[in-house]
Structures are given as structure tokens and as C-alpha cells.
Structure 1
């Protein structure tokens, strides 16, 4: 199997932006391997401890934070969003936290209303300020689906208000440290740092160019976490028991709540659901990632990459097929 996976990952090997691949079966690593480089300029190779910007794979941690606060009795999933963020306009009156989690709120995408001439990075609080000026939604809350980075940025702010902690601190103290994910971080420039950091690249004009940050890279709730395949193995383990989330919270996170704009995909809380798989991809400038879980088989595939393309979901499914064939042959 390793030889076949190496063949699939050949384009990531050598002096190019790389990738890290993890295949877990019953909590054990069948494959734990990295390819290429985390930092082209410094010539630093990618390793299983390399931390990549997860982009939207971060959303499952935002959802878990809300579920932890619900378990604490600090909020409920059916709270109106304006209970926590009263500066939102009246058009948001009917939106609930559950709808933010499931992309059924109809909120305007903050990327669409940003000032294109402003090159400063946007933060979660800036997303709120942008949405305060919007007097419309794409559809009536609860009456449609539209993938919403805005919703998850607002959820991060709600975590702060309900917990009394900064969002990055809540993640660290309630999720990362308890699970032993000691190198995982919601990165804030000038406040925190990323150990073993992978930098993002795009292939432009025949060469690899560093494209590590954009104006939206500082928004934490929708995509600001850095992590490694080693730390994500710890996260995956916690999704099989109740060391972090209760059985009811896990059931809600993994239960289809809405159909999406793809015929075979439904959405839970920070997870896409396709047949027997739970998965989520993450795409941002310079990074493409995916986690695909097969809970019934206790199989998980993670592919993290520090390049702008291709999107690795299809690759991960091919790797999973190799692993499932091996399991069937045992």
C-alpha cells in the first residue's frame, strides 16, 4: 500500500511544495508520511509534525467549541444570533446558532462586501462590522443552503462572548491541550507562532511563488487553524469516544442537518456527509487539505498540502480505497 500511495503522491516529492499523508485504522497509523518541502526558500522538508494552515477544515473545531459551550450550559444551539451579537441588523433576527453551524442562515458572504482596495487583513471582529451594514440575506433563515464563511466567523465571536475567553485561547485550553495537540494553534500574527510551519505556494509563470497569506487569512473561525497529521490523529481519536464531546454532541455534529448544493453531500456541524463518510476540505491561498473519515470501518485519511492546487479530496478517496482493500483482504 505504501508503494501505491507513494506513486499517487509523486508530484509532491522533491524540491517542491509538499504534502503530509495519514491513514489511520483502529487508531493506528497504517501510513504516516510526508513529501516535498514545507519551506522552499529555507529548503526545509515536510514531516509528520509539519503544521499546515487547515483553512475550512478548521470549521469542525469551531463547531466543537459551540457544542462544548452548549454542554456547559452557556448557550443553546437555538439561541438567536442577536442574543450574542446584538449589533447585527434586524434582518438577522430569525437566525439561530444552529443555522450558522449548518450554512442555512442566508447571511451575506463577507468576502463579497470587503473593500477591494483595502489590503489589510480582516479579522473575525471585522466580519461582524461588515455584516452590520447588510440589510438583506440571500434567503430567509432556515429556507436554503449556502456555504458561509461569515457564519463561522460569527460563531468564533460567540465562543468568545459565551466563554469569556479569546477564541484562540478557548481552542487551546478546551480542545488542543486536553487532547495533546500541543503544536496546533489558531494563528494570530504578532500574538502566537506556528512551530514546524509550512508556507503556502502557487505555481505562477512557470515557478513556485510563495502565496502564504491573503487579506482573509487572519479570520479564525472559518479557517485560521494550523495543525499537523500527528495532531489530527489525536483529534480523530477523540471523535470516537467522549473524552471531549458527549455522545449527544457527537451525534448532532455528524447527523445530516441539510442538503447542500451537491446532490450526494449533506452537512452536519462542520462536517460534510456523503454516504458513510464524514469529511471536510480546506482551500485557501497556498493550501489544499482534506480529512475523510469512515467511522464504521474506523478508517481515516488526512491529506495536507502547501500548494494552491490540486484539491486533494479525490486523492484521499483513492488512498482510502487502497486501505479498505487491505482491510478486506485481512
Structure 2
């Protein structure tokens, strides 16, 4: 398998341009690629949405997928859950530097200094793990958070990056304590209703219609959604916090300052203890508030932001190329991440030819023989 960086190279090395959305673009190559993915991996189906400079250019379904297809998206949930917390921070209910000790005065002493930002950037010092009470329907989010806080630390807060869901589960419970409302009510008020997400909940593997409330929602990975719902999130993010669909089109959802805060790379300077192998092959990766940050090649410029899940689902926003997308599949990220990367490069070639030509011709950056953190910790085969 080719290293992910090699597949991403045309996209990551792209230079900025003021090009607007092409009036007519032949997207047959994208169709062929998506159909090939469905056939080669014998998928039930797939869906794809793409926007260029805020204008939708493609919404298509393949195989057995259609507009109402709803699937679990695993770690792509992290970006969704991050929006709940960001809105509470904007309102002043929480702060990025709110600590565990403020809301759990009886928490073990080694946990009390952990901040909300650290909890949602894998830098809390809690283990990078997905086991224990996560997703256990027989308990509550509060009880699960208490169990996690009673467990071990692997590092001092802010000193290590360990990818996992335990810390984010605690963040969700912190939001419940700060508001006196359960997570489902918070998600409904802060995300579902303002963005008009008609088919998104934390039902994960449930096949029940409508919204399925969970007493212990899997905050970092329990969302199920549709292409139309998730693309509303990506369109809002691409518009720098302005809603692009529905009755509230044109209304501000998040302040630019809030988005800038979420885009801070909190992984920089930490010991890389537990990192999935996908970002390992991209030199200069970082992690924001619920999503990965990948370099685009423009110093100080926008990053490619993405939050791929264990089943291959991925939403992304490339601030340099002006492209946002949702790649909807249900397989494994180990197989789908290279496919998504190749698709992203193809879209840059088609929708931003000047950028693609310049970056492809530069040929000054090659894939490293090992990731930036090789030998510095345990790797995972896929995002959870």
C-alpha cells in the first residue's frame, strides 16, 4: 500500500489561488473512482458530497446508498461532539481552561488540573483507550466519567498525546454538570436543531428510526448520521461558522474566534504515546478540538481538517484549496483512508487545476520512510 502522504502529496503541497468554482467540471473520474471503491470492496454503497468555495458541486450516491441512508460514523463523531462544547464555551457556560476539579471536587488529585481543551485533544494524560464503560447502555454518562476518573493516568495533563475516547467521555459529562442537562438535550439544543440535522443521534449501531436517546452516549464515537446531515456541518465550518442551509441560512453559528480556538494544535510539543497510523505518515500533523490538522504546504495558512472514523467515513475541509467534502462509507478506515486521500487529490486536480499543476510540478517533498513519531509510541491501525 502506498504511504498516505504520497497519496495526499498533490493536495498537501498545493499553493493558494483565488480561483472560483469552475462553471462546468467533468466529474466522471470521481464517479468512476467511487463506483470502483464500491465494487472492489464489495460495499453496500457509498455517498459523496463536495463543495468548492462554499458552492456545492457534487452530491451523489452509489450502490445501495441513497439520501436517507444512515450509518454509524465512529470517530467522525468527535467533530460533532466538539460543536456542543464549543457552543457552551461561547455562551460562557464552560471555558477552554475549565478543569475537572471545578466540576468534580472529589476527583483524584492527579485529574483535577485537566482542562476541557486537553480532554478534547487527547492531551489530558488519561490513557488512549476505548474500553471500559464507553457505550455501555446499562450505565450513565456521569457514572462512566466517574469510573474513568477513578482509573490511572499515563502522563501529566498536557504532556502527552494519547488518542482515545476516555477523555472525551469525561468532557461530555463535564458539560452535563455545567448545564444540569443530559447530553442528548445538549446535542439537540446546540447542534441538531440549529443546524437542522433530521437524522443524527448517538444511537450508533441502532437501526431504530428517529432519535434514540442514550443514557450513556458514546461522546467520542457514537454518532449515526446521513450524508445530508453531516455535510451541513462541513458547509458551516467551510463558511467559518455561518449556517449554509435551512431556515437559519446566513445566521452565525460559531464566532470566528471560537473556530480559531478549536483549530489550535494542542498536540505540538507533547510526547506521542498513542497515535493512529494514518496521521503518522503525514509530516507535520496536529490535532485541534475534535479533529486532525494536516498541513497544506502554505506556511501559516489553513490546514486540511478531518475527522475520519474507524469505518472509513470522513468529513474534511481544506482551507487552502477551498474544498470541503463528506466521504460516506462503512468498511474499515485502514482500507478507506488511502481511497479517501486519493479522492481528495483527484478533486483538487479537477476543481483547482492551477494549484494542482504548481504543486505537482514542484516535486520537492517526498513521503518519509517513517512517520514523524516513528519509534515514539504505540500505533493504531485505524481511528476509533
Size of the aligned set, in residue pairs, is 297
- Aligned with 1:5: secondary structure? helix
Question: For structure 2, which runs of at least 5 residues remain unmatched after alignment?
Answer: 1-25, 242-251, 296-302, 355-384
TM-score computed with the length of structure 1 as normaliser: 0.79
Post-superposition Cα deviations, 1:197-235, rounded to whole Å, max 9, x if no partner, equal 9xxxxxxxxxxxxxxxxxxxx642111111222112211
Q: How many angstroms apart in 2 are the aligned matches of 1:112 and 1:231?
A: 28
Contact 2:165–2:220 (Cα < 8 Å) also in 1: yes
| Residue 164 (structure 1) aligned to one of 180, 195, 208 | 180
Name the CA shift for 1:185/1:219 in 2 (closer, same or farther; >3 Å).
closer
State the SS of the aligned residue for 2:83: helix
* 1:241 equivalenced with 2:240 (yes/no): yes
Cα pair distance change 1:121/1:324, threshold 3 Å = farther
1:142 corresponds, among 142, 151, 158, to 158
Q: Provide, for residues 162-201 of structure 1, a one-character-per-residue CA deviation record: whole Å limited to 9, x for no partner.
A: 22222122112221211122222222899x944599xxxx
Question: Which of 221, 224, 227 is the matching residue for 2:225?
Answer: 227
Structure 1 residue 65 displacement after superposition: 1.5
**SS of the counterpart of 2:324?**
strand
Residues in 2 aligned to 1:124 and 1:8: alpha-carbon distance in whole angstroms? 41
RMSD: 3.2
Q: CA deviation at 1:149?
A: 0.5
Contact 2:201 2:225 (C-alpha < 8 Å) held by counterparts: yes
| 3-state SS of 2:309 partner | strand
Deviation, 1:315, is 1.8
Q: Normalising to structure 2: TM-score of the pair?
A: 0.69
How many angstroms apart in 2 are the aligned matches of 1:58 and 1:114? 17
1:6 corresponds to 2:31: yes
1:246-325 matched pairs, under 5 angstroms: 246-259=255-268, 261=275, 262=280, 263-275=283-295, 276-283=303-310, 287-308=311-332, 310-325=334-349
Structure 2: how far apart are the matches of 1:110 and 1:89? 19
Provide the C-alpha distance between the structure 2 equivalents of 1:176 and 1:196, rounded to a whole number of angstroms: 10
Q: How does 1:109-120 map to 2 (within 5 A)?
A: 109=128, 111-112=130-131
CA contact (8 A) 1:110 1:127 kept: no
1:174 to 176, 179, 190: 190
Structure 1 CA distance for aligned equivalents of residues 39 and 60 of structure 2: 11
How far has the Cα of 1:140 moved from its partner?
Answer: 0.9
Structure showing the higher strand proportion among its residues? 1
**Structure 1 pair 272–132 and aligned structure 2 pair: CA distance change class (3 A):** closer
Alignment-derived partner of residue 169 in structure 2 = 153
1:285-312: per-residue Cα shift (whole Å, max 9, x none)? xx32112211233211211212246442
1:128 paired residue number: 145
Structure 1 114/74 Cα, relative in aligned 2: closer, same or farther at 3 Å? closer
Q: 1:4 and 1:50 mapped to 2: Cα distance?
A: 24
Q: 1:189 to 1:297 in 2, by over 3 A?
A: closer
**Where do 5+ consecutive residues of structure 1 fail to align?**
37-44, 198-217
Displacement of 1:76: 1.3
Deviates further, 253-262 or 238-247:
253-262
- Residue 90 of structure 1: how far off its partner (Å): 2.1
